[in-house]
Amino acid sequence: MQPIDTPQLASLYRSHIALLKAEFERIFAVAGYDGVVIHSGVAKKRCDVDDQYWPLRVLPHFAEWLPLIQADCALVIEAGGSPKLLRPTTIDFWEAPPIVEYDYFFEQFNVVGIKNRSAMKSEVSAGKRYAFLGEDRSLAAELGLTAINPAEITKPLERYRTRKSPYEIACLDEANRRAAVGHEALAKAFYQADLSELDLHLAFLAGTRQDDPETPYKNIVALGRNCATLHHISYRKTPSLSANGAMTLLVDAGATFQGYGSDITRTWVKGAGAAASSFGAIVSGVEKLQQLLCKRAQVGLAYEDLHNESHHYVAAVLREAGIARLSVDEIVNSGVSRTFFPHGLGHSLGLQVHDVGCAEIAPNSNNPFLRNTSVIGLDQVFTIEPGVYFIEPLLSELRASKIASGIDWKCVEALSPMGGVRIEDDIVMRKGGAENLTRAHLANSVA
């Protein structure tokens, strides 16, 4: 992996922490607290009757401060001075301490080793009013803290997280660069040989130098009909090939850097025959409309308006492909475009793949799965991910509806084995328009 420029990252981090600290101080003062205690998380058992644990997923409120993946740590943030980082010193001969790729962040904290929970309690000043951010209610009780994740603190913090600092944008950029290596490797592997979904998933992990639990979300790797399953993660272990060798690969996979994740989708087609070439035209159509939507994004626009606009472009692709014989307006107004493109156009991105703060209001009833209902703001990072899919249960409903005669069902049948297409990039909103973090590293989604 080509490392990002460390001194620059460290300097951006210092500014990130200064801003974050000021914002926390402002928020907890307004809410009437003297400080906050933020827990990193607890290791979770796979199931109650087992003695195995899932790899830790650090809680985002903690990860916003530092990229340390360690259970049972806590931050104590108060006005003035450096935040305290409480780290367990327990001797553990079962597992090694976490590896940190860079250590620039430690100097921003007063690091205190703690032997146990009562030692943690002595680091929280008696007589002060703290809010506890975390899931471990028993720890909050032991620390004598009764305000657990109070909305007057978490809501403004979530809003703050919609606008990324230059440090966070640099991390998201690096997460895109790393994922792009994996996407390029998979496209190459797909065109060179017939591999199984599992082989391709493993190749993505190898290409991005990530273990499975490090990925921002479980890789979605689908061949053929499985591309119609929006979150296909039950990888087939044998290669699939249709009769004429036509095949599609949809890869929706990202990489993590310092806690921040990318979320990228590419769809590839290979093989001869009419279905492969018609499907290739749909992929090109989605690629073009996706790029158009990235250009249309601008500060002040309601993201849901962009989503609604995308349905008109998807409708045009459905017409051009010969799937729908209706006008663009009929395709949109009758709900046909939502049969072929049922999910939202995108979502906020950051420490969580579906990041917080951009879905405070519910979408309109015809967009039930839209996860971004914000007005697009400066320094927001979000995805733009239109798609066209052949999803059997949704097609059955359409077949039984009044509008069914407006669909060329032979065409649908011929294309259904190719599953579907999604193209997804991560963008950061600048004054002059969207800056595409993905395309800076991964040129094009059409082979």
> Any idea which residue has 């996706």 for tokens?
290
- Residue whose C-beta lies closest to ligand GLY: 252
C-alpha 19/C-alpha 433 separation (Å) is 24
Six-digit token pair at 445? 């989604």
What are the DSSP E strand ranges found in 110-223?
110-114, 130-133, 147-148, 220-223
Tell me how far apart the 2 most distant CA atoms of the chain are, in Å: 75
Letters for 401-430 (x = contact with Mn ion by CB under 5 A, - = none) are: -----------------------x------
Region at 357 (left for phi over 0; alpha for psi -120 to 50; beta for the rest) = left
Please, what is the minimum distance in Å from the beta carbon of residue 267 to Mn ion? 12
In the bound state with ligand GLY, the residue whose beta carbon lies nearer, of 64 and 263, is 263
In the bound state with Mn ion, the residue whose beta carbon lies nearer, of 168 and 252, is 252
Please, what is the minimum distance in Å from the beta carbon of residue 332 to Mn ion? 22
Please, what is the minimum distance in Å from the beta carbon of residue 264 to ligand GLY? 9
Nearest to 334 by CA among 391, 402, 397: 402
Does residue 385 bind ligand GLY (CB under 6 A)? yes
Binding partner of 21, given ligand GLY, Mn ion, none, CB within 5-8 angstroms per partner class: none
Size of the site for ligand GLY (CB under 6 A): 7
C-alpha 129/C-alpha 34 separation (Å) is 5
In the bound state with ligand GLY, the residue whose beta carbon lies nearer, of 158 and 252, is 252
Six-digit token pair at 272? 């001869």
Please, what is the minimum distance in Å from the beta carbon of residue 262 to ligand GLY? 10
Cβ-based neighbour number of residue 354 at 10 Å: 17
Please, what is the minimum distance in Å from the beta carbon of residue 441 to ligand GLY? 17
Judge whether 190 and 249 are in contact, CB under 8 Å: yes
Binding partner of 217, given Mn ion, ligand GLY, none, CB within 5-8 angstroms per partner class: ligand GLY
Please, what is the minimum distance in Å from the beta carbon of residue 353 to ligand GLY? 6
φ, ψ for residue 323, nearest 5 deg: -75, -40
Judge whether 130 and 124 are in contact, CB under 8 Å: yes
In the bound state with Mn ion, the residue whose beta carbon lies nearer, of 242 and 291, is 291
C-alpha 263/C-alpha 274 separation (Å) is 31
Does residue 383 bind Mn ion (CB under 5 A)? yes
Please, what is the minimum distance in Å from the beta carbon of residue 263 to ligand GLY? 5
Judge whether 274 and 305 are in contact, CB under 8 Å: no
In the bound state with Mn ion, the residue whose beta carbon lies nearer, of 252 and 304, is 252
Task: Calculate the CA 78 to chain-centre distance.
Answer: 31
In the bound state with Mn ion, the residue whose beta carbon lies nearer, of 136 and 252, is 252
Is residue 312 within a helix (H) or strand (E), and if so which, with residue range? Answer: helix 303-320
Taking CB under 5 A as the criterion, the residue among 263, 304, 425, 426 binding Mn ion is 263
Judge whether 233 and 253 are in contact, CB under 8 Å: no
In the bound state with ligand GLY, the residue whose beta carbon lies nearer, of 136 and 424, is 424
In the bound state with Mn ion, the residue whose beta carbon lies nearer, of 199 and 425, is 425
In the DSSP assignment, the letter for residue 157 is H
Please, what is the minimum distance in Å from the beta carbon of residue 217 to ligand GLY? 5
Question: Which of positions 400-429 make contact with ligand GLY (CB under 6 A)?
Answer: 424
C-alpha 193/C-alpha 280 separation (Å) is 19
Taking CB under 6 A as the criterion, the residue among 72, 168, 174, 263 binding ligand GLY is 263
In the bound state with Mn ion, the residue whose beta carbon lies nearer, of 334 and 436, is 436
C-alpha 5/C-alpha 22 separation (Å) is 26
Six-digit token pair at 199? 């082989």
3-class secondary-structure state, position 13 = helix
Amino acid at 167: Y
Does residue 217 bind ligand GLY (CB under 6 A)? yes
In the bound state with Mn ion, the residue whose beta carbon lies nearer, of 21 and 343, is 343
C-alpha 40/C-alpha 56 separation (Å) is 9
Please, what is the minimum distance in Å from the beta carbon of residue 338 to ligand GLY? 17
The site for ligand GLY (CB under 6 A) is made up of: 217, 252, 263, 347, 353, 385, 424
The site for Mn ion (CB under 5 A) is made up of: 252, 263, 265, 383, 424
